[in-house]
Amino acid sequence: MFYEEVKDKMEEACGVFGIYAPGKDVARLAYYALYALQHRGQQSAGIAVSNGKQVRVHKGAGLVADVFSDQSLNNLKGHLAVGHVQYTPINSGLAVNAQPLVCQCLKGKMAICHNGNLVNVKELKEHLAARGVVFQSSLDVEIVVNLIARNGGGGLKEALKKAMLELKGSYALVLMTEDKLIGIRDPYGNRPLCLGRLEGSYVLASESCALDVLGAEFIRDVAPGEIVIIDQSGCRSFKFSSRSTEALCVFEFIYFARPDSTIDGLNVMRVRRAMGRELARESPVEADIVLPVPDSGIAGALGYAGELGLFFDMGLMKNRYIGRTFIRPEQSERSLAVRLKLNPVTELVVGKRVAVVDDSIVRGTTSKKIVKTLRNRGAKEVHLLITSPPVIASCYYGIDTSERGQLIAAQKSVEEIREYVGADSLSYLSLPGLYRALKREQGFCTACFTEKYLLGLPKEVR
């Protein structure tokens, strides 16, 4: 498919945000925060706001700037809000599945946003359907809402705790009742979620970059297995799980998160540069120039070039205006796809030994076209350097990866991949090298590299 050729990458599921700020324009603040999180999902966006008596929501398909207008934001009045940006696979029902999901419960309305993926969806749906629940979407978060509602007899805190203990898999949740903002992180901490303060008010976000945009102070990351409740009494929290194993998705540092974010004490930019340095130590090449595949390859390329004293330049120009709605070329024009997305600066590569640094290879189609294009522009040699280990397994925790049969590293050896993409050499960062860049071996989910699924697997693939 054209989309696969243009975006030969793993895709994040979404980003979440919440704010409790009486006296402030929370809808507009949520709008700016979602702009900062736009990299986590570009297919739909939404904001729900409460004034203490009613909850209003505006959401739709498209980028944040496409979904919202001054008028729509002006219609969202209140003192607390939740927001969501989402990546949704093609043909998966953008309108129905856009979040936040707003529902009427016994004690009022609730709006909820989810980042991640549950692995016991089938079992939970069967359990709830047998008790008369009718589902309106394919969202995991609809199951969460029903579980909270059905456990509501003992109060909100108890309902949240009981509901979370029934969930298995990956989730960072931001939800609100008519008067409370709530953040929840799964017991493994697979998806990021942080807490901040804005002039006496509180915010929750998938990444700290959203806090920076608002001028909010970073307080801390929400701990794995923790529930944070914010209302007029302030901010309080409690643990619903004491699980000792943590498994933050390592791809947050490889590709998903913004470089200016800090997650669980690790700055993304620093880690990516360290991955480049580690790769240089493991796999040095003789090259005249180091080029990153923008944007996620930039930090790694800087680290690689700096470690070996090689010349670095932005020799691949990225067209930032190609999106999912771009008109697909005819079959005879498919070679245009990558050239439209990434175009080399001929003067920088002609006659040169070129080292190309990228964060990962998924299907290999984009890498192959980049190598071919560089050769066509006169590159003497092309060496492909990847700042992560080979992706050999699909993710079931909220990341859109190909089926195993489409993952090139699951089917071919490194040498066979090198031959397929046409590079003079191909080197991946080793898993120990990745751990050295992260400065620790424990606390990460690396299932896509190791097939060790710490959070479990869906019933249909066990």
Which residues are tagged catalytic?
14
d(CA 420, CA 228): 49
Distance CA 206, CA 361 (A): 25
Give the length of the chain. Answer: 462
Q: Is 346 left (phi over 0), alpha (psi -120 to 50) or beta?
A: alpha
What is the edge-to-edge ordering of all strands in the sheet holding 425-428?
Answer: 289-292, 353-358, 381-386, 425-428
End-to-end Cα distance, the chain: 29
For residue 45, which of 26, 56, 31 has the smallest C-alpha distance? 31
Amino acid at 193: L
Distances, alpha carbon 269 to alpha carbons 139, 165, 300, in Å: 32, 34, 9
Name residue 127's amino acid: H
- Residues in CB range of 354: below 8 A, 6 or more apart: 287, 288, 289, 291, 315, 374, 379, 380, 381, 382, 383
Q: What are phi and psi of 194, to 5 degrees?
A: -130, 160
Helix, strand and coil content of the chain, in percent to the nearest 5, comes to: 35, 25, 40
Q: Compute CA distances 428 → 248, 252, 276, 282, 388, whole Å.
A: 21, 18, 10, 9, 6
Is 176:195 a contact under the CB 8 Å cutoff? no
- What string of DSSP letters covers 385-409? EESS----S---SS-B---GGG-HH
Angle, nearest 10°, between helix axes 140-150 and 156-166?
Answer: 130
d(CA 19, CA 230): 9
Strands 266-267 and 262-263: what pairing?
A: antiparallel
